Amino acid sequence: MLKDEAAELVKAFRQGDAQAFNRLVALYQGKVYNLAYSYVKDQEEARDLAQDIFVTVYRSLPGLKDPAKFSSWLYQTAINHCRNRYRRLQRRGFFETQSLDDEESPLQLASGESLEKNIEEQQTASILRAELAKMPEAEKEILILRDLQGLSYEEISETLQVPLGTVKSKLNRARLALKQRLRHLL
C-alpha cells in the first residue's frame, strides 16, 4: 500500500538514506502537483508551489512523530502552502489575468482516442476547474481532497482537522453546490 511504502521510506530517510526522499517525491509528486494546480491553475506556479511543498517536507520530516501518518501530514503541509500561495497570488491580481485558454496542459492524447473526444474532455475539465475555483475555499478543498485526490473520509478529517461527521456533511453540501454550478453542462 502507498501508505505503508511511504512509512518505510520515512523511516529510511531518518536513518540517513538520502535516496528515500527522492522515492517519496516520486510516490507523491503527481498528487502534490495536481493539488497545487487546482489552487493556482497555472503550470509554472504549480511546479514552483509543489517544489516548495517538498522542500518543507524535506526540512520538517525529522519532526514527524508517526511515519504512518506521513500522508495526512504531507497533505496538511501541502494545503497550508496552497492556501497561502493562493491568497498571495489573489492579492497580486494573478487570477484576474488568467484566461481559460491557458489553463490546461497541451493535449495529452492517449493512443486510440479521438482528437474530438480529447478536446471535449479538456473543455469539460476547464469548465470544471473554473467552477471549482469560484467556490468558497472550504467547499473547494473538500471536493479536491475527496473527488480529485481520492482521500478517504478519515484522511480528510485528519488533514483538515475537522470531525468525521463534519467531513461527510460538508462534502455533501459541496457536491450539491457544484452540481448546481454545472447545471448547464448536465
Partner 1 sequence: MDCEHIRSLFTACQDREISPPDLLAFEAHLAACPHCAREWQDFRKTLRLLQEMRPLPVPSDLLPGIHEKLGQRRGKTRLQELLQRFFPPLPTTAASLAAAALAVMVLIKTHDVSGPETSVLAPSAPIARVEPLDAQEPSLTMPVSVGQPAGDDAGFLPYAAISRPPFPFLLKREATESDLLAAWHDQVAAMGIEGPLGGPSSAPDIVVKVHHLSPEGMDWLHRRIDREGRWQTRGDSRDRFLVLVDPGELSAFYELLQRQHLPFSVHSSPVFERDARKPLLVSVRP
Q: In angstroms, what is the minimal distance from the CB of 1 to partner 1?
A: 19
Give the residue with the Cβ less far from partner 1, 4 or 169.
169
Give the residue with the Cβ less far from partner 1, 13 or 81.
81
Q: In angstroms, what is the minimal distance from the CB of 152 to partner 1?
A: 10
Cell 459541496 locates to: 174
The whole-angstrom separation of Cα 169 and Cα 22 is: 37
Give the residue with the Cβ less far from partner 1, 3 or 34.
34
Residue 137: all three cell numbers together: 475555499
**Nearest one of 63, 8, 6 to 32, comparing CA atoms:** 6
Q: In angstroms, what is the minimal distance from the CB of 6 to partner 1?
A: 16
Distance of alpha carbon 170 from its chain centroid, rounded? Answer: 18
| Residue 115: CB atoms within 10 Å | 9
| Residue 22: CB atoms within 10 Å | 12
Give the SS3 label for residue 30: helix
Give the residue with the Cβ less far from partner 1, 91 or 134.
91
Beta carbons of 112 and 130 less than 8 angstroms apart: no
| Residue 54: CB atoms within 10 Å | 20
The DSSP result for 126-155, as a single string, is: HHHHHHHHHS-HHHHHHHIIIIIS---HHH
Q: In angstroms, what is the minimal distance from the CB of 4 to partner 1?
A: 22
Which residues sit at the interface with partner 1, rule CB under 8 A?
22, 25-26, 29-30, 33-34, 37, 43, 46-48, 50-56, 58-60, 63, 77-78, 80-81, 83-84, 87-88, 91, 104-105, 108, 121, 124-125, 128-129, 143, 147-148, 153, 161-162, 168-169, 171-172, 175-176, 178-179, 182-183, 185-186
Give the residue with the Cβ less far from partner 1, 5 or 19.
19
